């Protein structure tokens, strides 16, 4: 039903209108100030001893078929409707909003107000939802969808439903390396780095870095035939949305780089749901329970050197009025909205991004190579210390708004216990490996630590083999920390410690402001778990 181009257009149209409807304050006059000097581009030098070698595939392959879910079971004696009756209930001008799916008719008039995916459900008003669900494939396996379908079924279609998809939106996904990824879902693709790979190098390779997609990888993740990946990056265009009035200027990456230069910074990238499995064990069920993501361990995390254009220079040049107002009032009311070519969007407070010390960039390279198809090629937002969900991939547009973007991943998913959009990651330490020291009763323990959103350095990591009654200080491998243009310490440090051998070891980190991890962190709807990392030891 959709060609890939049609899907792209649909998706992008969908979210443009989402911004118009929800983003009351999406605005801004855009002008390049002639007075901002260009920086010189920084060379990326990687240490071959610590940089995991490249290599991700740029091949494409179809994802194994996922059967479409069945609809709600027919109810004996239920009414039947024609397609044109469904179509006439299009949800506008006070009319009900009906949809159909696999021979069933559903009244979504009330449901659309509570739909976790938000108002984009209205795109299917009066029509069949199948093609939309093939893109947002979570509908095919989420148990919640089945429950709602049961509640809102009102009858059956008279005509036979067309159940055959003519286009599979997942028919050209990146080839991935299952040796360095534990796969949770393939539609949309979602994986973590197995713990044995996680701490094996200071920099995580693109092939091993976790992937959390919400939709198919868009076509822009591949260069056109005959063009190199590097030169295609240069032509990639980003629209800086103006909003209510006037034009929305488009800049190529080449424009941005020549105007603002590039920098290389080191930062972890972490999914807000990392350690979701441990969170369930420590604090009880969460939204992850029952989903394939309840198996997340510690690997939705990686550490890399990212190269790109500093947002703290781009935004004041393109949105001078708003940035000046934001600076005057602490920046509180403005948000930067990033929209990806896959239809995903997210926003982060402008104040965070305008502070140059936070090293927020529009990244084109990871560890010196063009971003991989799964990690946002040709350009992504890279906001150190901020949850992965806001680091929008396959970036196609940026806007400023007075309110956070009205998208499912801001309004329904990725919220903390107070119902606020999750932004900053917490202080974290993780045990990646334990081994008995030969000829002794000692255990060598290895792991990682980072301070999350604060960007503080790690002052110490401690390891305990008696459930926290006593602690031994670990040795931090400071010598391998990269000397690049990072303003703070958003990357991880690796550490080693020796403790008496027991059945379980745990660790905790303390940052330079004296903040220390507690044994069990408060429930945040299953996100952001940062209690002590506890690991069983084979005796
Ligand atoms: C009767 C029709 C529909 C029902 C019952 C339904 C139900 C749901 C439910 C229960 C979720 C949350 C799933 C979970 O988190 O486990 C969800 C998410 C979502 N829905 Fe729908 N939906 C419908 C139609 C649509 C349509 C037509 C679209 C698009 C045009 C759509 C777009 C989305 C999106 C984007 C999400 C977030 C998915 C993600 O990122 O994983 N939905 N929907």
Compute the average pLDDT of residues 129-144.
94
Q: Is residue 361 part of a domain?
A: no
- Window from 16-25, 29-38, 160-169, 393-402 with minimum mean pLDDT: 16-25
Residue nearest to atom 20 of ligand 1 (CA): 117
Domain closes at, from 157, 179, 197? 157
> What pLDDT sits at residue 155?
97
Do 528 and 416 form a contact (C-beta atoms < 8 A)?
Answer: yes
- pLDDT digit string (tens) for 520-538? 999 999 999 999 999 999 8
Q: Is residue 506 part of a domain?
A: yes
- Window from 23-37, 121-135, 378-392, 473-487 with minimum mean pLDDT: 23-37
Three-state secondary structure of 163-178: CCCCCCCCCCEECCCC
Pocket flag, ligand 1, residue 351 (CB < 6 Å): no
> What pLDDT sits at residue 325?
81
Q: Is residue 324 part of a domain?
A: no
Query: 412 CA distance to ligand 1 centroid (A)?
Result: 11
Query: 132 CA distance to ligand 1 centroid (A)?
Result: 9
Nearest of 473, 526, 466, 528 to residue 501 by alpha carbon: 466
Strand blocks (E) in 13-86: 60-61, 80-81
- pLDDT digit string (tens) for 337-362? 999 999 999 999 999 999 999 999 99
Q: Is residue 443 part of a domain?
A: yes
- pLDDT digit string (tens) for 469-480? 999 999 999 999
What pLDDT band is residue 41 in, cutting at 50, 70 and 90? very low
- In this predicted structure, the answer to whether residue 243 has a pLDDT above a threshold of 70 is no
Q: Is residue 366 part of a domain?
A: no
> What pLDDT sits at residue 66?
79
CA atoms of 95 and 115, how far apart (whole Å): 18
Pocket flag, ligand 1, residue 251 (CB < 6 Å): no
- pLDDT digit string (tens) for 143-157? 999 999 999 999 999
| DSSP conformational letter for 136 | S
Pocket flag, ligand 1, residue 131 (CB < 6 Å): no
Residue 136 domain boundaries: 80-157
Q: Is residue 194 part of a domain?
A: no
CA atoms of 179 and 281, how far apart (whole Å): 27
Query: 120 CA distance to ligand 1 centroid (A)?
Result: 9
Domain closes at, from 124, 157, 190? 157
- Which residues lie closer than 8 Å to 433 by C-beta, 6 or more apart? 195, 196, 199, 445, 446, 447
Count of domains forming the chain? 2
- Window from 92-96, 166-170, 185-189, 456-460 with minimum mean pLDDT: 166-170
CA 106 to chain CA mean position, Å: 32
- Return left, alpha or beta for 91; rule: phi > 0 is left, psi -120 to 50 is alpha, else beta: left
Query: 215 CA distance to ligand 1 centroid (A)?
Result: 12
- In this predicted structure, the answer to whether residue 50 has a pLDDT above a threshold of 70 is no
Q: Indicate which CATH number applies to the domain containing 525.
A: 2.60.40.650
> What pLDDT sits at residue 21?
23
| DSSP helix, strand, coil percent of the chain (3-state; round to 5) | 25, 25, 50
What pLDDT band is residue 120 in, cutting at 50, 70 and 90? very high
**CA-based angle 167:411:326, to the nearest 5?**
120
**CA-based angle 477:481:485, to the nearest 5?**
165
Pocket flag, ligand 1, residue 109 (CB < 6 Å): no
- Window from 152-166, 278-292, 433-447 with minimum mean pLDDT: 152-166
| DSSP conformational letter for 419 | S
Pocket flag, ligand 1, residue 461 (CB < 6 Å): no
Start-to-end CA span in the chain (Å): 57
Q: Is residue 111 part of a domain?
A: yes
Which residue blocks in 284-414 are alpha helix, DSSP H?
311-318, 320-328, 350-354, 408-411
Pocket flag, ligand 1, residue 147 (CB < 6 Å): no
Pocket flag, ligand 1, residue 135 (CB < 6 Å): no
Pocket flag, ligand 1, residue 146 (CB < 6 Å): no
Query: What is the number of other CB atoms lying within 10 angstroms of the CB of residue 513?
Result: 11
Which residue out of 16, 109, 114, 116 has the highest number of ligand 1 atoms within 8 Å of its CB and is therefore the one to mutate?
A: 116
Do 432 and 446 form a contact (C-beta atoms < 8 A)?
Answer: yes
Which residue out of 2, 100, 139 has the highest number of ligand 1 atoms within 8 Å of its CB and is therefore the one to mutate?
A: 139
Residue nearest to atom 34 of ligand 1 (CA): 117
CA atoms of 133 and 143, how far apart (whole Å): 14
Do 464 and 516 form a contact (C-beta atoms < 8 A)?
Answer: no
Q: For the chain, how many residues are written?
A: 539
Whose structure tokens read 């649909």?
A: 10
With 0-12 / 13-18 / 19 or more C-beta atoms within 10 angstroms meaning exposed / middle / buried, residue 223 is: buried
**CA-based angle 395:450:301, to the nearest 5?**
45
Arithmetic mean of pLDDT over the chain: 88
Pocket flag, ligand 1, residue 150 (CB < 6 Å): no
Domain closes at, from 130, 157, 184? 157
* The ligand 1 atom nearest the CA atom of 214: 40
Whose structure tokens read 């069990």?
A: 520
Do 13 and 19 form a contact (C-beta atoms < 8 A)?
Answer: no
Sign, Cα dihedral of 351, 354, 358, 363: positive
- In this predicted structure, the answer to whether residue 202 has a pLDDT above a threshold of 70 is yes
CA atoms of 260 and 258, how far apart (whole Å): 6
Pocket flag, ligand 1, residue 132 (CB < 6 Å): yes
Query: 392 CA distance to ligand 1 centroid (A)?
Result: 20
- In this predicted structure, the answer to whether residue 16 has a pLDDT above a threshold of 70 is no
Pocket flag, ligand 1, residue 249 (CB < 6 Å): no
Compute the average pLDDT of residues 38-60.
49
| Phi/psi at 321 (5° precision) | -60, -50
- pLDDT digit string (tens) for 363-422? 999 999 999 999 999 999 999 999 999 999 999 999 999 999 999 999 999 999 999 999
| Phi/psi at 479 (5° precision) | -65, -25
Q: Is residue 212 part of a domain?
A: no
Query: 110 CA distance to ligand 1 centroid (A)?
Result: 14
> What pLDDT sits at residue 164?
66
> What pLDDT sits at residue 161?
61
- Return left, alpha or beta for 93; rule: phi > 0 is left, psi -120 to 50 is alpha, else beta: left
- pLDDT digit string (tens) for 303-343? 999 999 999 999 999 988 888 888 776 656 899 999 999 99
What pLDDT band is residue 539 in, cutting at 50, 70 and 90? confident
- Which residues lie closer than 8 Å to 188 by C-beta, 6 or more apart? 137, 138, 213, 214, 215, 216
> What pLDDT sits at residue 163?
58
Residue nearest to atom 33 of ligand 1 (CA): 117
What pLDDT band is residue 162 in, cutting at 50, 70 and 90? low
Query: 44 CA distance to ligand 1 centroid (A)?
Result: 41
> What pLDDT sits at residue 43?
28
């Amino acid at each position: 039903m959709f060609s890939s181009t049609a899907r792209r257009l649909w998706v992008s149209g969908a979210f443009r209108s989402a911004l118009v409807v929800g983003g009351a304050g999406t605005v801004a006059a855009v002008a390049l100030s002639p007075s901002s000097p260009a920086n010189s581009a920084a060379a990326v030098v990687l240490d071959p001893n610590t940089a995991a070698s490249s290599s991700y595939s740029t091949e494409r392959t179809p994802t194994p078929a996922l059967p479409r879910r069945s609809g709600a079971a027919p109810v004996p004696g239920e009414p039947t409707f024609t397609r044109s009756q469904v179509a006439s209930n299009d949800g506008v001008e006070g009319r009900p909003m009906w949809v159909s799916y696999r021979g069933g008719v559903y009244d979504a008039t009330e449901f659309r107000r509570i739909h976790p995916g938000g108002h984009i459900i209205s795109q299917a008003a009066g029509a069949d939802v199948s093609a939309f669900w093939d893109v947002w494939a979570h509908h095919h396996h989420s148990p919640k969808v089945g429950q709602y379908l049961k509640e809102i079924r009102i009858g059956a279609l008279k005509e036979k439903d067309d159940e055959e998809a003519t286009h599979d939106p997942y028919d050209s996904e990146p080839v991935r390396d299952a040796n360095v990824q534990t796969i949770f879902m393939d539609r949309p693709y979602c994986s973590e780095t197995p713990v044995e790979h996680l701490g094996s190098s200071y920099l995580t390779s693109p092939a091993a870095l976790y992937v959390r997609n919400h939709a198919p990888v868009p076509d822009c993740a591949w260069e056109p035939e005959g063009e190199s990946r590097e030169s295609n990056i240069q032509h990639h265009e980003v629209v800086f949305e103006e909003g209510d009035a006037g034009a929305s200027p488009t800049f190529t990456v080449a424009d941005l780089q020549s105007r603002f230069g590039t920098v290389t910074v080191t930062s972890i990238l972490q999914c807000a749901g990392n350690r979701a499995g441990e969170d369930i064990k420590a604090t009880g069920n969460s939204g992850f329970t029952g989903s394939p993501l309840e198996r997340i361990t510690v690997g939705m995390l990686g550490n890399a050197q990212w190269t790109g254009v500093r947002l703290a220079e781009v935004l004041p040049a393109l949105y001078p009025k708003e940035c000046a107002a934001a600076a005057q009032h602490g920046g509180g009311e403005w948000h930067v909205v990033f929209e990806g070519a896959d239809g995903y969007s997210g926003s982060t407070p402008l104040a965070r991004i305008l502070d140059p010390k936070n090293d927020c960039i529009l990244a084109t390279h990871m560890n010196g190579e063009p971003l991989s198809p799964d990690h946002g090629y040709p350009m992504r937002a890279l906001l150190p210390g901020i949850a992965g969900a806001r680091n929008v991939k396959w970036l196609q547009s940026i806007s400023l708004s007075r309110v956070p973007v009205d998208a499912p991943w801001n309004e329904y998913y990725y919220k903390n216990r107070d119902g606020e959009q999750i932004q900053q990651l917490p202080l974290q330490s993780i045990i990646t490996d334990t081994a008995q020291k030969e000829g002794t009763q000692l255990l060598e323990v290895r792991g990682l630590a980072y301070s999350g959103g604060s960007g503080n350095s790690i002052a110490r990591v401690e390891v305990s083999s008696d459930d926290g009654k006593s602690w031994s200080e670990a040795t931090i491998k400071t010598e391998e920390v990269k000397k690049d243009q990072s303003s703070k310490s958003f990357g991880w440090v690796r550490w080693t410690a020796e403790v008496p051998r027991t059945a379980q070891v745990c660790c905790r980190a303390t940052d330079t402001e004296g903040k220390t991890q507690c044994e069990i962190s408060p429930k945040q709807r299953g996100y952001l778990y940062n209690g002590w990392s506890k690991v069983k030891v084979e005796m």
